[in-house]
Amino acid sequence: MDLGLTDKVFVVTAASGGLGRATADQLVAEGARVVLVARRAEQLDAAVADLGGHAHAVALAADLSDPDTATAAADLALRSFGRLDGAMISVGGPPPGAVLGNTDEQWLAGFESVFLAGLRVTRAVVQAATGPVALAMVLSSSAKTPIANLAISNGLRPGLAMLIKQLADEIGPAGGRVVGLLPGTIYTDRIKFLHGQGDDPEATRAAAAASIPLRRLGDPIEFGRVAAFLLSPAASYVTGSLVAIDGGVMRAL
């Protein structure tokens, strides 16, 4: 299937590794060009080289918590490639904690880094887009069901999910689309690190796999393929949806 992504341009955040990098890989493989945004400049430079150089990818080493980063990324897309068609938006996760255990400062920091950061990128890309925009926002299963000891995520992600629904109404008349992506346990460096914190990382990984209906962890490329498809014209009638990429773990409707 031709996804229709040739020469389209997307901002991809958290792009130095994990789900962001996997999505950038798939977009470029399908003929798109990307603006990679992350804090780690060295990893971004390596990613640009891996993706074929500046004809296919450019990088912005910046923190999404900086209010100017979103606009800078959109401007870089226009300067580098002359157009902007959408974004894959991924932000950092807030700290763990109980509903009554997290401090006001932690709640405010989480709102800034999770909610406002994603909203700023969304706003900047929609405003700068040179045609109908396609957006994919990485959320969490906490958008539909709470995760133990992640009160801030449980509080913020459903709000972002509802914004996706409303934004679909707002940009739809102009042909714009937006979807939410709910990744499960994808075997990224972050998951490797978390599994490595215990006495037996292999046992931890095996237990995680056993809890998944497909009985294995996801590969980042499996996430990237779904994200690239949903951003593409091949998914032109999909908007306002929350799509789980989790091997069947989510039990909520």
pLDDT tens-digit map of 6-57: 999 999 999 999 999 999 999 999 999 999 999 999 999 999 999 999 999 9
Asked whether residue 202 is assigned to any structural domain, the reply reads no
Give the count of domains, the chain. Answer: 1
Asked whether residue 37 is assigned to any structural domain, the reply reads yes
Q: Where are the beta strands (DSSP E) in the chain?
A: 9-13, 33-38, 57-61, 86-89, 134-138, 177-183, 242-245
Asked whether residue 120 is assigned to any structural domain, the reply reads yes
Domain span at 76? 9-186+219-244
Asked whether residue 84 is assigned to any structural domain, the reply reads yes
pLDDT tens-digit map of 79-134: 999 999 999 999 988 888 999 999 999 999 999 999 999 999 999 999 999 999 99
Asked whether residue 121 is assigned to any structural domain, the reply reads yes
Task: Read off the CATH number of the domain in which 167 is found.
Answer: 3.40.50.720
Asked whether residue 44 is assigned to any structural domain, the reply reads yes
Percent of the chain with pLDDT over 70: 100
Asked whether residue 210 is assigned to any structural domain, the reply reads no
Contacts of 144 (CB under 8 A, 6+ apart): 158, 161, 182, 242, 250, 252
